[in-house]
Amino acid sequence: MVNPLDAPAPARNASATRFVLVNVSHAGNVGAAARAIKVMGFGELVLVAPRHPDVLAHDEARAMASGALDVLAAARVVPQLADALHGAQVVCATAMTPRDFGPPVFAPRERLPALAREGPAVAFVFGGERFGLANDDVYRCHVCLSIPTAPGYGSLNLAQAVQLIAYEWRQALGGFAVTDRTPPAQLADAAEVQATLAHWREALQAIGFLDPAAPKRLLPRLNQLLNRAQLRREEVHILRGIARAVRRQVR
């Protein structure tokens, strides 16, 4: 019998996820955040009282978005956090340190899988670069997510924090299948390895490294070396080409 806690998260529409940036200062972070959420399959971005009201049209934001201009075009700017949370059933603050009387604090990987199984509409709220989230903003959230960092230095760039949370949330929702973009290796067969060894024997004789009258165990050792290397066909061609070039130079 399958334990329901071990079951995969149900399929969800990406529109049930919202990323909210409060008092963001740098246009580059806005563009990078748009790219971060798009690459994880999300698309809803809301800015709360950004330092520059026209930040979405800023050249740096567009440059850093790098293919996520549709996310920037669809992003909204609102004056208060409350305006950004309509429809969100669970609101997750992100903060480095817990707040007294604030919501419970979890590492993302500790809380997000269970939240994905529950299936609510979720908003992830990030504070500005200079001061983070105000206490009042944290208090209105259901959960506080704290990204584990090295002791003594926990300061994350805003866009990097968005990327980490977006990745962890996507993994909690089931993730994406990894496509193998590397074609399978075509290993050289035994005959090709022996042909390579023959070329190198001739090249080594040509430069005086191998004495054909007293070869000792050089060739068997080279043979074992080539076998252990599990050469690919293109690598065999390279080695044989080098040997031919050596012979030409000697001549």
Q: Domain containing 219 — which CATH number?
A: 1.10.8.590
Higher pLDDT, 6 or 243: 243
pLDDT of residue 3: 43
What is the rounded distance in angstroms from the CA atom of residue 175 to the CA atom of residue 11?
10
* In-domain check, residue 6: no
Kind and range of the H or E element at 206?
helix 190-206
Using alpha carbons only, give the angle 62, 72, 25 rounded to the nearest 5 degrees.
Answer: 70
Q: Return the higher-pLDDT residue of 125 and 249.
A: 125
pLDDT surpassing 50 at residue 136: yes
Q: Are residues 109 and 224 in the same domain?
A: no
What single-letter DSSP state applies at residue 173? T
Shared domain for 22 and 72, answered yes or no, is yes
Q: Tens digit of pLDDT for each residue in 1-42?
A: 334 444 444 444 556 999 999 999 999 999 999 999 999 999
CATH number of the domain where residue 45 is located: 3.40.1280.10
Domain shared by 77 and 113, yes or no: yes
CA-closest candidate to residue 145, choices 198, 109, 190, 171: 109
Strand partners of residue 192: none
The verdict on 229 and 105 lying in the same domain is: no
Supply the pTM of this predicted model.
Answer: 0.72
Q: Please give the tally of structural domains in the chain.
A: 2
pLDDT digits (tens, 9 = 90+) for 211-226: 888 878 888 999 999 9
Q: Name which of 142, 146, 115 is nearest 5 in CA terms.
A: 115
Would you tell me how many other CB atoms lie within 10 Å of the CB of residue 47? 23
Q: Is residue 226 part of a domain?
A: yes
Q: Which pLDDT score is estimated for 181?
A: 73
As a whole number of angstroms, the distance between CA 41 and CA 15 comes to 10
Query: What are 17's strand-pairing partners?
Result: 122
State which amino acid sits at residue 161. A
How confident is the model at residue 9, as a pLDDT? 42
Q: What is the pLDDT of residues 153-210, one digit of tens each?
A: 878 899 999 999 999 999 999 998 887 777 778 899 999 999 999 988 988 988 989 8
Looking at the domain assignment, is residue 122 inside a domain?
Answer: yes
Phi, psi torsion values for 127, nearest 5 degrees: -85, 170
Note whether 233 and 185 are within 8 A (CB): no
In a 13 Å sphere around the CA of 145, the CA atoms on its Cβ side amount to 26
What's the pLDDT at 122? 96
Same domain, 148 and 222: no
CB within 8 A of 134, min separation 6: which ones? 22, 127
**Interval 30-86: pLDDT, tens:** 999 999 999 999 999 999 999 988 899 899 999 999 899 999 999 999 999 999 999
Domain extent, residue 211, equals 190-250
Please give the structure tokens belonging to residue 45. Answer: 């971005």
Unique residue bearing structure tokens 């806690």: 5
